[in-house]
Every structure is written in C-alpha cells, then in structure tokens.
Amino acid sequence: MGGPLNLMLADGAWVAAAHSSLGEIWRLGHPLADKYLRGIFTTATASGPTTPNVGHALLVGVISGLAHGLPVSAAGQSFALPFLFGWTGLLPAAGPGAWSVTLLAAGIGLAWLLKDWWEAVWRSMRTGAAPVTASERDIDWTALAAAVVPCYLIQWRLTQLGAHLQAAAAVGLLLVGTGLILMAGERWAQRSPVASPHLSPWLACGAGIAAGLGALPGLSALAILMAVGLYGRMSAEAAARFGLMVLTVVLVLQGLVHLPEAVAVPPAEVLLLAVGAVVGAPAGGWVLLRLLGQARERALPALASYATAVGGILMLFGVLAR
C-alpha cells in the first residue's frame, strides 16, 4: 500500500469525520422524523363535531352497531367510513356522551340476539346443575367472567391512549392488524380439529387481556376473542358466540359508566344513535354467526380482506395528508 493510505488509516481522521457527519444527521434528523411520525400516527385533539347532526345520527349509529357485531372494530369503522366518504363522524374522544349511547345500545342489542345463551348461563349459575341443553353445554360462565374482567379493565385504562390514535394512519395500521389476527385464527382453525365447546378459564383470561387492546381504534376485540377461541380448538361459531357474549357485558358496563356524559347530547340524536346501534349490533352478530356456521372457510378470509383493504387505504391517505 502507498504511504498516504497508510497515513490516513493510522490517523483515523476520516473515521472521526464520518462519525461527526452521522452524528450531525442524527441530531438534526431525529426530531424531524419524530415530529413527522407523531403527526401521522397520533392526533393531539379529537377533530369533528361533538356529535353528528340529526340527519346522520341514525346512519353512524347503524355503522357503529354493525361493527360491534362483526370483527372489524367499531371505533375503526366509525372513523374510517366517515373519513373516506366525507360524512360527519362519531369519534369516542370527540363525543364521549354520544359514544356511550351507542355502546350501551349495542350491548343491549347483542344481549337480545344471544338471549337463549344468556338464559343458559343464568340457569347454570343459579342452580349449579350439570349442563343439559346444547346451550348449557357450550357456555361456561367462569370462562366468560375470566375474559370480561380483564377486557373491561384494560380497555378502561387504554381509553386515553386510544383517543390519541384517532388518526388515519394509526387506525389504518391497526385495521391491518385486525385482518392479520383474523387470518391467524383461520389458519389455527384449519390446523386443529374442533375438540372443546368452550375455553378453559386460563385461556379465556388470556383472551380477555389481549381483547383489552380493542380499546385502540382499528383493533377489534371480537377478532382477538375469536382467534383465541379458534386457537383453543373451539368451532368458529362457538368462538364467535363466546366473543359476542364477552363484548355484550363489556359494552353495557362501558355505556353505563359514561352514560351521565350523554346528558349534553340533544335528545333527538340520543334516540337515533340508540336506535341505529340497537338494531345494527344484533344484525351484525346474526350475519357473523350465520356466515361462520355455513361458510367459515370464506367468511373469515373475506372479513380479513375487508379490514386489511380499508386499513391500507387509510394508511395511504394518512401519509399523503401529511
């Protein structure tokens, strides 16, 4: 080697210069990148009106209700569809009173849809007798309780974080996650034969903990509960029914806790939101159970594709908007 090259290697000045340049790039670029990512994936304040106008209240109530009965995230759909089509939306953080009305109404609607199963749970709890009917054999109230408690508590703790993630890119990313969860559940269902009508309390508790992340807009608690049920070798229909029953309790509790905030919502909007949600939720749950009972192989991939497609579009718009 030549003398100048040996001198440069020995001196190490070029290394120091390179390190200095990289350090300068990091020092200047890191705050800009951090600010850009925060601007894409978070929102400091909720946008939009506190509640939709009367003309849209029924529509957004139906959208929210349907999404509570299907594993596509109610908060995600309540953000995505108005965002994409330019409607007046209903966001949990922007209108907590109106949102609590839809939660309570959706929970009541799901309870009506699953009334036979809830009656079976009540008989099992009240008498302690061995299960006799198909409903009683397929439902374990201890597993329901093991899932409901952590799901509600974690969703309650994550409420504020969820409010900061009501931005197009963040909701889109989480909707893509919901699609991946549904596809994972479908793979587990294909690999493992049905072996149990219900989950063990420990697995149900794990399902509830994971479903608590459903407080984040775009991530579906129902999809998580269904996927864990399929992992536990339940049938697809039984896993969906288990998830819907867990959500029934969680929705009613959340709605009741925040119901006093609905006092500020105009009565006409309260009524229309409630009607939309109480009709939409059982309709969505009924469609889900029918699809899974008759065509699970097509139902879960279709729902996963929908969530992934909407999520991808939201991510694209979220990035371009910045």
Which range (43-57, 109-123, 160-174) has the least confidence?
A: 43-57
What separation in angstroms does the CA of 145 have from each of 70, 157, 200, 245, 246? 21, 19, 11, 10, 8
- Tell me the pLDDT tens digit for each residue of 42-97: 664 444 444 446 667 788 889 899 999 999 999 999 888 888 887 766 666 556 77
What separation in angstroms does the CA of 30 have from each of 21, 37, 167, 321? 14, 11, 22, 21
The string of DSSP codes covering 80-133 is HHHHHHT-----TTT-HHHHHHHHHHHHHHHHHHTHHHHHHHHHHHHH-PPP-S
Place of tokens 């949102």: 99
How is residue 46 annotated by DSSP?
A: -
User: Residue 199's pLDDT band (boundaries 50, 70, 90)?
Assistant: confident
The string of DSSP codes covering 129-159 is PPP-SHHHHH--HHHHHHHHHHHHHHHHHTH
Question: Could you count the other beta carbons within 10 Å of the beta carbon of residue 3?
Answer: 7
Six token digits for residue 79: 């953000």
Q: What is the pLDDT of residue 15?
A: 45
Alpha helices in the chain (DSSP H): 3-11, 13-41, 54-69, 74-85, 96-113, 115-127, 134-138, 141-157, 159-164, 168-191, 201-211, 221-231, 236-258, 267-321
- Tell me the pLDDT tens digit for each residue of 273-315: 889 999 999 999 999 999 998 887 889 999 999 999 999 999 8
- Tell me the pLDDT tens digit for each residue of 122-146: 877 776 655 545 444 566 788 999 9
Nearest to 64 by CA among 38, 95, 18: 95
**313 near 83, Cβ under 8 Å?**
no
**308 near 315, Cβ under 8 Å?**
no
